[in-house]
Amino acid sequence: MAYDNTPSFDHLPIPLTSDLVKTEHGQVVFTAVNGAGGLETKVVDLVDGAPGAFAPRTPDVRTVIDRDSFGRELRRRGLDSDGTVWASRAKGRVTAVYNDLSTDLDDAYTRRDDRLMLQFVTDPDWSTFGNVADGQYHGQEEFGDLLDDAGHLIISHQAADLVELADSIRATSSGHFESRIQRSTGSQSVGWSESVEARAGAAGDLEVPKVVVFRVARFEDFPTVDLVCQVRLRVKGGQLLLGLFPRPYEHLLREQWQTVIGELGAEIGRDIYATA
């Protein structure tokens, strides 16, 4: 008896139609097959089936950290009519969205995921300023050290005067201070006395400026701004406490941000929208 070894595929679904559709985020096959339960429609996602053969559906956000790189990348790969640019002052960030929503309300919705981001980097001196002008009272030795650390940012006093002031503050740290603080036009002083064993000891006035002006930049790619801090004194239990308390400066940073973003918009030839 002769046997027929020819394989049979009669039990498998028979494709009736098969259409390859290329979408914005990959390729999908729409297939209608004759299955056991009748006509069946299936969608085959080729990206899920072979992810290594296709580009990812969601592109990575490209991030640069200076204005020059942001402008050069936008010149290399420019925005079309649907592209937009957004700026967040709170986050120090500017984002160009290539596939933003179309101005035509009948157009399809987009994911808004093709983005170029400019992330401004915090200037290290800004952190130094924040540590010094923290609105808190400090002991004399600690306050003297803080003045040393931020001396290069202070423009209201000569460097030599600041060193002398810091040394004077630390040198009188073992003294007993009076609770009465004298304030003149440009400085303030507090009386102190120190007894040394059986000797008469020493006494005098420690003079401290009323205000100190810092020149510092918020971000590395930004111009500097002058910030005024009040020097406050407090005598507690004969010990002197000092602190730097900044005067309101948020309006200065806001004006500076608006200036920089306006310049950036002119450089790239785009309106930049403010966002949170």
| pLDDT for 123 | 97
Integer Cα distance of 232 and 171 in angstroms: 19
| pLDDT for 140 | 82
- Which of the four pLDDT bands, split at 50, 70 and 90, describes residue 195? very low
Integer Cα distance of 62 and 203 in angstroms: 63
pLDDT above 60 (res 10): no
| pLDDT for 131 | 94
| pLDDT for 202 | 41
**CA 62 to mean position of chain CA atoms:** 16
For the chain, which residues make up each domain, given as ranges?
14-53, 62-122+255-275, 124-195+202-247
**CA-CA-CA-CA dihedral for 56, 61, 67, 73, to nearest 10:** 10
Specify the DSSP class assigned to residue 185. Answer: S
**CA-CA-CA-CA dihedral for 161, 162, 163, 167, to nearest 10:** 100
Three-class secondary structure of residue 217 per DSSP: coil
Q: What is the mean pLDDT of residues 67-96?
A: 96
Tokens, residue 89 = 């002052």
Tokens, residue 112 = 């808004």
| pLDDT for 6 | 53
pTM of the entire structure? 0.69
- Give the percent of the chain with pLDDT over 90: 42
Which H or E run contains 74? Answer: helix 67-76
